[in-house]
């Protein structure tokens, strides 16, 4: 078990809307973590199914529950960040869950040992109907800030960031419908110059079918928003440069590093 940490509170935010089919997996993966100082915040967008009833079953173990209509996941994340009191903030979406009960501890240990502003790792995409079946491996090891102009980013769900970044540089910009996470990462690394550490292992299982991975039209919109985010923050790029990453992204569907099973 990790001893008393310098960064002794981690705020984990889950945003959800009509997520009854997957919400319990997400919640229980957070509550099972062996890291001793977790503040868990759930922001529901006014679900019409039984999501909020499931959430309330765990209310004694959840620091804050917000349930009200919003304008999408990024606005909900901002609400969670505003509510957070931890030294470090991470987001775990309601389709996702941690691969085991030591994820948060390992991420924080890595961040502390490196003395950095943030930490990230790998994630695996799994089949919605069979979460034991890996269909894509997102390898964050290739990231460095110079690759932002090509649309490269570390796996956002794995990212944990010192909360002071959001205080100084703001949350997610709601002008971006798909790529607000990428724009935030551009501000984090290019504008704020945040230092980072990489943990070479998968930490989250993500069910396929999210907004940014759902169809060619969404991919086209995503890449255009990536160009917009770079230019808005002083990075020169264009759509052809961003599209150069496509063949390497396709390799994620077939190439799975050995660390997948560590």
In sequence order, the 6+-apart residues with CB closer than 8 A to the CB of 4 are none
Whether residue 249 has pLDDT greater than 90: no
Look at residue 209 in the predicted model and tell me its pLDDT. 75
pLDDT tens-digit map of 66-111? 999 999 999 999 999 999 999 999 999 999 999 999 999 999 999 9
Residue 126 in any domain: the answer is yes
E strand or H helix at 107 = helix 103-114
Residue 97 in any domain: the answer is yes
Alpha-carbon torsion 104, 106, 107, 109, what sign? positive
Residue 128 in any domain: the answer is yes
Whether residue 3 has pLDDT greater than 50: no
pLDDT tens-digit map of 8-21? 899 999 999 999 99
* R_g of the chain, CA atoms, integer Å: 17
Residue 4 in any domain: the answer is no
pLDDT tens-digit map of 207-219? 987 544 456 888 8
Nearest to 52 by CA among 83, 78, 76, 17: 17
pLDDT tens-digit map of 131-180? 999 999 999 998 999 999 999 999 999 999 999 999 999 999 999 999 99
CB atoms within 10 A of CB 113: 10
CATH number (domain holding residue 68): 3.90.550.10
What is the domain extent for residue 22? 10-261
Residue 60 in any domain: the answer is yes
Domain count of the fold of the chain = 1
């Amino acid at each position: 078990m990790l001893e008393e940490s310098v960064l002794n509170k981690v705020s984990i935010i889950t945003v959800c809307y009509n997520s009854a089919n997957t919400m319990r997996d997400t919640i229980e993966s957070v509550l099972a973590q062996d890291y001793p100082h977790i503040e868990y915040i759930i922001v529901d967008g006014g679900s019409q199914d039984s999501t909020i009833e499931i959430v309330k079953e765990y209310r004694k173990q959840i620091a804050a529950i917000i349930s009200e209509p919003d304008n999408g996941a990024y606005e909900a994340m901002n609400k969670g960040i505003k509510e957070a009191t931890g030294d470090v903030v991470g987001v775990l979406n309601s389709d996702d869950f941690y691969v085991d009960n030591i994820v948060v501890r390992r991420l924080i240990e890595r961040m502390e040992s490196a003395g950095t502003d943030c930490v990230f790792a790998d994630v695996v995409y799994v089949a919605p109907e069979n979460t034991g079946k890996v269909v894509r491996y997102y390898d964050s090891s290739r990231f460095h800030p110079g690759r932002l102009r090509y649309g490269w980013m570390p796996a956002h769900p794995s990212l944990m960031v010192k909360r002071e970044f959001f205080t100084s540089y703001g949350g997610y910009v709601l002008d971006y419908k798909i790529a607000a996470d990428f724009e935030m990462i551009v501000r984090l690394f290019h504008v704020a110059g945040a230092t980072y550490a990489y943990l070479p292992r998968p930490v989250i299982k993500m069910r396929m079918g999210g907004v940014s991975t759902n169809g060619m039209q969404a991919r086209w919109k995503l890449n255009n928003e990536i160009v917009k985010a770079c230019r808005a923050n002083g990075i020169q790029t264009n759509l052809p440069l961003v599209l150069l990453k496509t063949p390497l992204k396709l390799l994620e569907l077939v190439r799975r590093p050995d660390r997948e099973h560590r």
